[in-house]
Structure 1
């Protein structure tokens, strides 16, 4: 039996050692002329030099800087940004790309007695224009996941404020695109290697959320962020966490009249007015599965209104075009429809999905065909590769128009519970459908 190697204790000039505790579950980290405890002490010394203008937000940032050994949140003044460019508009506000002039404070260098900066080429600025959005709750969730350092999630760096609008701005990792646009770019040539990696990564992120009793609540293609990395494998993506909720904070006492989301990805029980649960996230994952094998968003050919909500609650689900079926294994379709089950208890768990897709992806990478699942997958791959270019163009046009009343950006929706007394009037035309996009709204959200 080999003797146990004793780890050498390292000290910094301030007298901190690598054997000291940084927090209840992490030891102090001393390397490359930096010390985590020194970093924390210098951040605490600077607490009086900045303010977000909101005491609760300040406290969350300070908590992050004192408790997190790696990923921390910072208050970053707006004048630290340059080359700001509009990227897109979303449900709660607008997204911009920007460069940070001096980078973000990383760790305190105890030799140079100065900060080591993390220089990020570009970041995303999410300006929150919706007064109903809870910035404090959002930062609380982000702070929790910064502690977990899970690579399935997008990185968040801090918060700022627009001097012209006084709106708060969430600063996060900038990605090239969302999942839908990534798939639409070159889906004809996207084989199962990349599809499985995407599914395994998303399922693992969902499992990580559920393990610590969080619910995503808004899982759809627009909240899966992707960089364009076309190579032998795919892994450069992150899940948006802005609207996740701690399960115990979701009240189940009353039914909801209004919810927030994209109708095709919302489970029927939530459309009826019930709260979102982990099982609801699995229903949304079914929509992701659909999009990954069709490059089409669910129910893109019809209006996203109260009538669609009623259809979903009556068991209607997105259809797979017949010409695409030989590209998709039968077990995959069965699993997708299990995720879409009307009965939440019949849906698979995130643990089951994560383990299944990770195992299948590994076998596929190693070219192991040892069961019916892998045989079906091999045939699907061959069918895709043997499909003529002309048929692929017909199946997956590079640009396809959606129904003008479809909407894949999260928005406020009146539930069937809230519309109970109005449904007959809506059907008869006596009352307008509050869930139908208004002309100005459809222009903004398109």
Structure 2
């Protein structure tokens, strides 16, 4: 018998829902801290020579704190294990090469993290309004990804895109991911962290290209969005982003055949949406 800690706040998505219902605001810095801790947990798994293999927002749990715990390690296996028959997981979080029948690797966990990261930062459930079927699997293999809100700081968006790259070899390792998130979090309060020609602000360039400025703008927009949310807006949002009846967010066996070779979309990196939506 195993006795595990009870996580009364539930999973990551439930925590976001909890924040929304209480009209609580979570800054970009705090969110990056949570993501950094998730990455550290994934790094510990990978350093042990293991792969999670079923990594999604429903398997990230919280107790009374904001410190996340990765759960449901039932599919976790040594990295050198041969792939079992069939693909098991939650379709939106499964890497395209795994959908195509290739062996599950550490890089596939990183792909899942990219989907989780965008979900947590944007507060949009991936592919919530479409069926999770063979058609979606084909689109994912052709480079279709969840939309990244336009106001997302560029360096954060770049990391998300790198994590869900169709080519596994282009994705960061768990260590690189953790280090990147640590630097991004530090950069939210120290404008000198990214003090270079591309990201620094001075009299000769546009401050909107500066990461520190982008983070502050992100916080202001999200906080204003939260404060200005009236009941009629809640009703409108709930009406327009209802979960599709065939959008399934529990792990299952995915019977997928004849999928195309994974490629990146030519539109990836510029497909940002201008307006934030809450999925609650």
- Asked if these proteins are the same fold (TM beyond 0.5), I'd say yes
Alignment partner of 2:150 out of 314, 318, 325: 325
Distance 1:338 1:358 in 2: 16
Q: Counterpart of 2:127?
A: 299
Deviation at 1:265, TM superposition (A): 0.2
How do 1:18-37 residues align onto structure 2 when only pairs under 5 Å count? none
Does 2:163 correspond to 1:339? Answer: yes
CA distance, structure 2, for counterparts of residue 206 and residue 224 of structure 1: 11
Structure 1 or 2, whichever has the larger Rg, is 1
Summarize the alignment of residues 33-52 of structure 1 with structure 2, pairs less than 5 Å apart. Answer: none
Q: Which residue of 1 aligns with 2:49?
A: 213
1:29-108 alignment, distance < 5 Å? 75=1
1:338 deviates by 1.2
| Alpha-carbon offset, residue 397 of structure 1 | 5.0
The equivalent residue for 1:165 is: none
Q: Which residue of structure 1 aligns with residue 69 of structure 2?
A: 238
Please report how far the alpha carbon of residue 193 of structure 1 lies from its aligned counterpart in structure 2 after TM superposition.
3.0
2:7 paired residue number: 175
Highest RCO, 1 vs 2 (Cα 8 Å, sep ≥ 6): 2
8 Å CA contact 2:156–2:184 kept in 1: the answer is no
Matched positions, count: 236
CA change 1:194–1:227 in 2 (3 A) is farther
Which of 112, 134, 146 aligns to 1:284? It is 112
Secondary structure class of the residue paired with 1:225: strand
Listed one character per residue, the Cα deviations across residues 8-34 of structure 1 (whole Å, up to 9, x for unaligned) are: xxxxxxxxxxxxxxxxxxxxxxxxxxx
Q: Secondary structure at the match of 2:61?
A: strand
Instruction: Tell me by how many angstroms 1:199 deviates.
Output: 0.5
| Residues 156-196 of structure 1: per-residue CA shift (max 9 Å, x gap) | xx2xxxxxxxxxxxx32111200011112224622213211
Paired residues of 1:257 and 1:414 also in contact (CA < 8 A): no
Superposed CA deviations along residues 342-361 of structure 1, whole A, max 9, x for unmatched, are: 11111111111101212332
The alpha carbon displacement at 1:363 in A equals: 4.6
Alpha-carbon distance in 2 for matches of 1:416, 1:378: 45
Instruction: Give the TM-score taking structure 2 as reference length.
Output: 0.76
Of residues 100, 121, 124 in structure 2, which corresponds to 1:272? 100
The CA deviation string for residues 328-380 of structure 1, in whole angstroms up to 9 with x for no partner, is 2111112111111111111111111101212332454xx32223333322222
RMSD between superposed Cα atoms in Å: 2.5
Tell me, yes or no, if structure 1 residue 376 matches structure 2 residue 214.
yes
| CA distance in 2: counterparts of 1:257 and 1:242, whole angstroms | 16
State the match for 2:173 in structure 1.
Answer: 349
What's the offset of the Cα at 1:401? 2.1
**SS of residue paired to 2:191:** coil
**Distance in 2 of aligned mates of 1:262 and 1:381:** 31
Paired position in structure 2 for 1:58: none
Q: 1:330 to 1:363 in 2, by over 3 A?
A: closer
| Cα 1:347–1:392 shift into 2, 3 Å | farther
The more displaced of 187-196 and 175-184 is 187-196
The residue that corresponds to 1:200 in the other structure is 36
* Equivalent in the alignment of 2:251: 410
Q: Distance in 1 between matches of 2:134 and 2:147?
A: 19
Q: Is the 8 A contact 2:129 2:243 kept in 1?
A: yes
Give the match for residue 202 of structure 2. Answer: none
* Cα distance, 1:397–1:192 mapped onto 2, change above 3 Å: farther
> Counterpart of 2:124 in 1: which secondary structure?
coil
Match of 1:315 among 122, 133, 143: 143
1: CA distance, partners of 2:238 / 2:27: 17
Instruction: Output the TM-score relative to the length of structure 1.
Output: 0.49
Unaligned runs of 5+ in 2: 200-210, 261-280
